[in-house]
A and B are shown apart, each in its own frame.
Chain A
Amino acid sequence: ELKVEQNPLFLSMQEGKNYTIYCNYSTTSDRLYWYRQDPGKSLESLFVLLSNGAVKQEGRLMASLDTKARLSTLHITAAVHDLSATYFCAVDIPGTASKLTFGTGTRLQVTL
C-alpha cells in the first residue's frame, strides 16, 4: 500500500521567512503533484514533477523531486500572507494512471 507522509502538519511562519515542506512516499511512482487548498475550496494545481531531479518554480514556491529517496520538497521563499493555505502532495498509484494517494497535508499560516 502506498503511503504518503508530509511534515510538518502545521507550520506557522512570519512573513519574509523561508521554509520547506517535505513529502515522503513509500513506493516508486510515476508522478508527484503539489496542490494548494484554501478553506472550503477545491484544489489548485501548483506543480507536476515527472522525473528524478526535477525542479520547478513559480513565484515564491519551488518544488523538487528525488525519486531515489522518494522525497519531494516544497520550498517557500520570503513568505507572504497570501501563501496561507493547506498544501498537499500527491503521488500516482503505480500502474493506475492518475489514481492519486494524497499526503496528510501541511497547513501553512503566514503571520504578519
Chain B
Amino acid sequence: GAVVSQHPSRVICKSGTSVKIECRSLDFQATTMFWYRQFPKQSLMLMATSNEGSKATYEQGVEKDKFLINHASLTLSTLTVTSAHPEDSSFYICSARGWGLEGEKLFFGSGTQLSVL
C-alpha cells in the first residue's frame, strides 16, 4: 500500500537556526502534499498545500517566508522552518494523496517533533 515517509522524526535546534523536514511518497507519485502542524493536546491545523512544480499555497496566518515549502519532484516535498524560535516548537505532519484498497485516500507521514531551545 501507499506509504509516506517523513524525516526526521524528532529534531532539537537552537533558536535562530533553520530546520528542514522531508516528506516522501515511497511508492506513488504525489502531485499534491499537505503540511499540518499540531500543538500539544490540540487538533491539526493545515499550514500549506504543496504543489509539484509550482509555489505552495499557504493558509491564512501562515508566514510563507518563515515556512519555506519546496515540492521539486513528484515524490518529495520539504518544509524548512527558517530562523526557528521557541514558539515554532510543534509537531509537524505531512500528508499526500494516493490510492489505497478503497480508492483515493490521504496518507500521513509519521510526523516530526520540533523543539526549539
Question: A residues within 8 Å of B by Cβ?
Answer: 33, 35, 40-43, 45, 48, 88, 90, 96-105, 107
Contact = CB atoms under 8 A, between A and B. Distances in A.
A88 B6 CA distance: 21
Contact of B105 (A48, A96, A103): A48
B113 A40 contact: yes
Contacts, number: 50
Interface string B6-43: 10000000000000000000000000101010000111
Nearest to A107: B41
B44 interface: yes
Given A41-B111, A42-B110, A88-B43, A48 B102 contact: yes
B97 interface: yes
Interface string B32-63: 10101000011111100100000000000000
Given A99-B46, A99-B49, A104-B43, A45 B111 contact: no
Contacts of A103: 43
Interface of B: 6, 32, 34, 36, 41-46, 49, 93, 95, 97, 102, 104-111, 113
A12 B108 CA distance: 27
Q: Is the interface of B mostly helix, strand, loop or mixed?
A: strand
Given A42-B109, A43-B93, A48-B102, A99 B34 contact: yes
Contacts of B108: 35, 42-43, 45
Contacts of A45: 105-108
Contact of A33 (B45, B97, B106): B106
24 contacts: A33-B106, A35-B108, A40-B113, A42-B93, A42-B109, A42-B110, A42-B111, A43-B93, A43-B108, A45-B106, A48-B102, A88-B43, A97-B32, A98-B32, A98-B34, A98-B97, A98-B104, A98-B106, A100-B46, A100-B95, A102-B44, A102-B45, A104-B43, A105-B43
Contacts of B110: 41-42
Given A40-B113, A48-B105, A98-B32, 9 more contacts: A42-B108, A43-B93, A88-B43, A90-B44, A98-B97, A98-B104, A102-B43, A105-B42, A107-B41
